[in-house]
Structure 1
Amino acid sequence: MFSPPVSKEKYYYHAAKRFMMDAQLLRCRAAIHVEDKDDIVFWSNIFKHFRPNDRFHFIAGSRNERGHETRGVTQCLKYVKYLNPKFFICIDSDYRYLLQEQGIDVKHYIFQTYTYSFENHHCYDKGLNELCYRITTLPNNVFDFHQFLKEYSNIVYKLFLWHLYFLVADPKRFSIADFNELISFQWQRRPDIRQNGRHELNKLKGRIEQKLAQLRKNYPKANLSILEEKYQKMGLTPDTTYLFIRGHNIYDMVYMLNREVCKKVLRIAKDSYSGSQQPPHVNLFGYRNSIDDQLKKNLHFGAYPAIRKIEEDVHLLF
């Protein structure tokens, strides 16, 4: 006998109910729908830290109303009407936090990163100088990630304000793709880490200053001072811009810089030994994968506003 198709609303209502039942069967505090498998590592670390006695059932993707396995923020947000303390979602903020998108908050059972994405948290600058030691067992005396990211942020800050201005006024005039291309290093094979990346930063600065001059000429009446004041109150400053731009770009940049730092540190150590004498450390086979592992462990709770906002959300819900 023919059965009529289930409405979209009923479909997601029953799916949400099923997730809650699964969590209950697994003796978990709640079911959590995230954007993808990679997000689980970040959010599970968050809840393990703030709710160490609770277990959670993570869902990295689900079938849409047409029966197709689907991931991403759009799929997460389809459950908005059916969220509660037993079933909630965790998403990357993208620009939602800065643009103050309505309804994206813990009161509606939505956790967000407050940075562009979870990758930005893993790239928090204060913890990066120690990664080399954890990967190679040798100290990093050749590169200062804190200083590099501070300079990088200051270079791209004004351009980011223009980008946010156009996201509201007219996105086509300065698209997300155009902005991301301008702020990305054009490395062919590997970054130049000499003088703390000075050559790379100067190239980036020249390209961005050229774009800024063009924007000022074409839009002389644009006043960004009000936007600047507004966003500073939200944590966006010349030093912290790297936390609010596309996280994947920042993560890839930090990964590649770390790879070069590890190579140089190991090369210096090797050159300091002569003949057949064996260095007292091990050049880890496949250490490039270790960089990824160690970056994902780079979380600094309570150290900066975005991570503290997540902590506040956890306390509000529980």
Structure 2
Amino acid sequence: YVLHTYAYAIESYQCYAPSLHNVCVMVTLNDHRIFDFEEYMKQFSQAIFPLFVWSIWHYRRSIYGEFTITDLNHIAELGSFSIHNPLLSIENLRRKVRNKINTLQHRHPEAKDSYLKLKKELIDLGVTPDTTYMYIQGHHLFNKIILPIVNRVCSRLVQEREDEIRRQAVHDTQRRNELSCYTNSIQDIPQMLKKNMGYQESTPFKRILMDAERILNPKQNENP
């Protein structure tokens, strides 16, 4: 039996947005929630969804050389990102997406009906505008989108914790010892992302479990 992964790859699951705050906590030992990963990735997904549909549209017609996965990845890169003004990167992403869509629509004016039909099909399959990030290339998502964001968030959380240690230290020796201890406790971000198991609560992963259950225990699925 072959089970579908639903999401693009294991990296997609490791980047499951609702689990990323816990990754930051494990890295920094600071549970201050300073960034809304779920909302950001929702807006990211909504921004790229129309172009994602175009990517599948080209693939279905064996003309994917006109608009490759690499092309989509390049547009989906965040470029400059600030946790103080994250929507700026979303606005820039939307601008790039609009420009490319205009080009594709001009190149394929006959595509409207088939595009809309494909869009509905993808949504019915579970690839929704809010969750598109789970279905783009996993390595690109991990390395070029999620990792830079988590790096920024963790750097801020580490700075917060170090500032707290400095404020609460009674004398210099205590400050140095506690800062040294804290620095040694900080975990490697890519490794923590790769160890992230929070995706087990995601809808695509639960669909895999249901499929496995259906295949491995066929008698339980028989009608009485």
Deviation, structure 1 residue 283: 3.3
Question: What is the TM-score when the length of structure 1 is the normalising length?
Answer: 0.59
Deviation, structure 1 residue 294: 4.4
**Partner secondary structure for residue 194 of structure 1:** coil
Once residues 183 and 297 of structure 1 are traced to their aligned partners in structure 2, the CA distance between those partners, rounded to angstroms, is 23
- Once the two structures are superposed, residues 99-156 of structure 1 have per-residue CA deviations (whole angstroms, 9 ceiling, x without a partner) of xxxxxxxxxx223311111111111111112222121111133211111101110110
Once residues 140 and 261 of structure 1 are traced to their aligned partners in structure 2, the CA distance between those partners, rounded to angstroms, is 10
Once residues 157 and 56 of structure 2 are traced to their aligned partners in structure 1, the CA distance between those partners, rounded to angstroms, is 39
The residue number in structure 1 matching 2:83 is 193
Deviation, structure 1 residue 241: 0.2
How has the CA–CA distance of structure 1 residues 299 and 161 changed in structure 2, closer, same or farther, with 3 Å as cutoff? same
Deviation, structure 1 residue 219: 1.9
The higher radius of gyration belongs to: 1
**Partner secondary structure for residue 261 of structure 1:** helix
1:246 aligns with 2:144: no
The residue number in structure 2 matching 1:95 is none
- Once the two structures are superposed, residues 163-198 of structure 1 have per-residue CA deviations (whole angstroms, 9 ceiling, x without a partner) of 1101112212212221221112235xxx42222x22
> Which amino acid is 1:240 matched to?
T
The residue number in structure 1 matching 2:219 is none
Which of 195, 200, 215 is the matching residue for 1:296?
195
Question: What is the TM-score when the length of structure 2 is the normalising length?
Answer: 0.81
Kindly indicate which of the two structures has a greater share of residues assigned to strand.
1
> Which amino acid is 1:200 matched to?
S
- Once the two structures are superposed, residues 280-299 of structure 1 have per-residue CA deviations (whole angstroms, 9 ceiling, x without a partner) of 77534484624423443233
Deviation, structure 1 residue 217: 2.2
> Which amino acid is 1:125 matched to?
A
Once residues 171 and 292 of structure 1 are traced to their aligned partners in structure 2, the CA distance between those partners, rounded to angstroms, is 34
Which of 42, 67, 74 is the matching residue for 1:150?
42
The residue number in structure 2 matching 1:202 is 91
The residue number in structure 2 matching 1:122 is 14
The residue number in structure 2 matching 1:13 is none
Which of 301, 306, 311 is the matching residue for 2:209?
311
Once residues 161 and 121 of structure 2 are traced to their aligned partners in structure 1, the CA distance between those partners, rounded to angstroms, is 48
1:226 aligns with 2:117: yes
Which of 96, 104, 111 is the matching residue for 1:215?
104
Please tell me the root mean square deviation across aligned C-alpha atoms, in Å. Answer: 2.3
How has the CA–CA distance of structure 1 residues 135 and 313 changed in structure 2, closer, same or farther, with 3 Å as cutoff? same
8 Å CA contact retained: 1:131, 1:295: no
**Partner secondary structure for residue 79 of structure 2:** coil
Kindly indicate which of the two structures has a greater share of residues assigned to helix.
2
8 Å CA contact retained: 1:135, 1:294: no
Structure 1 unaligned residues grouped into runs of 5+: 1-108
1:278 aligns with 2:145: no
Once residues 168 and 294 of structure 1 are traced to their aligned partners in structure 2, the CA distance between those partners, rounded to angstroms, is 33
**Partner secondary structure for residue 113 of structure 1:** coil
Deviation, structure 1 residue 225: 1.2
The residue number in structure 1 matching 2:159 is 267
- Once the two structures are superposed, residues 35-70 of structure 1 have per-residue CA deviations (whole angstroms, 9 ceiling, x without a partner) of xxxxxxxxxxxxxxxxxxxxxxxxxxxxxxxxxxxx
8 Å CA contact retained: 1:152, 1:201: yes
